[in-house]
Amino acid sequence: MNLPTAPTPSLVLASTSPFRRELLGRLQLPFEVAAPEVDEAALAGESPVETAERLAREKAQAVAARFPGALIIGSDQVAYCGTKRYGKPGTRANAFAQLQAMRGQTVIFHTGLCLLDSASGGVQLCGVPTEVRFRQLTDVEIGRYLDREDALNCAGSAKSEGLGIALLESLRGDDPNALVGLPLIALCRMLRSAGIPLP
């Protein structure tokens, strides 16, 4: 006699990012997408690492009530070099200024990741840093890049999954997907721990 198996919890991505949606799709698991209404501003005295990880958790928590019994994925990324943070530029002028400031520098892109079990309230949380070394970019190269790539909604203005890779000298980190916005290696580990079968 076969014993009934517990139903697999549904999976929800608490993000409107098309990049995170595409990355999660690589795992070939069914999932829903929900927009978290979260203020992404840093708190006073908060480090970039703390900001990214807090916001990952808050994004997951923001949609939990809508999805009882689901596993909810929240993620956030903060780029920084020393005490300077680089958010989504929003305008071409801001993107140009960011890339000027980052040329020849090593910038850390810290990606916070949270998996929230809305049934139990259990939380798995981690951070995955990626060290990005920018080339000594000329103003002409920066302008040419911004003419060709829409990088205004990307922290640090450099989309490594697109033409932005040409701006870089090197990348160093545990998971190349983390830089795009969703650390799949860490997420797979969390999902397996939550009982989701993955190869």
Would you list the domain boundaries of the chain? Answer: 11-193
pLDDT tens-digit readout, 125-138: 999 999 999 999 99
Catalytic residue ranges:
76
Task: Give percent of the chain above pLDDT 90.
Answer: 86
Least confident of 69-73, 152-156, 186-190: 152-156
Q: Which CATH architecture has domain 11-193?
A: Alpha-Beta Complex (3.90)
Could you tell me which residue, 2 or 159, shows the higher pLDDT? 159
Q: pTM of whole model > 0.85?
A: yes
Task: Please report the pLDDT score of residue 9 as a whole number.
Answer: 74
Task: Please report the pLDDT score of residue 6 as a whole number.
Answer: 52
Quickly state the pLDDT bin for 154 (edges 50, 70, 90): confident
Amino acid, single-letter form, for residue 82: G
Task: Please report the pLDDT score of residue 2 as a whole number.
Answer: 55
The 8-class DSSP code of residue 66 comes to T
Quickly state the pLDDT bin for 155 (edges 50, 70, 90): confident
Task: Please report the pLDDT score of residue 198 as a whole number.
Answer: 92
Average pLDDT for the chain: 93
Distances (CA, A) of 183 to 63, 85, 188: 20, 20, 9
Asked if residue 188 has pLDDT above 70, the reply is: yes
The 8-class DSSP code of residue 165 comes to G
pLDDT tens-digit readout, 87-119: 889 999 999 999 999 999 999 999 999 999 999
Phi, psi dihedral angles at 37 (to 5 degrees): -95, 90
Query: In sequence order, which residues have a C-beta less than 8 Å from that of residue 10 and are 6 or more positions away?
Result: 30, 31, 32, 67, 69, 70, 71
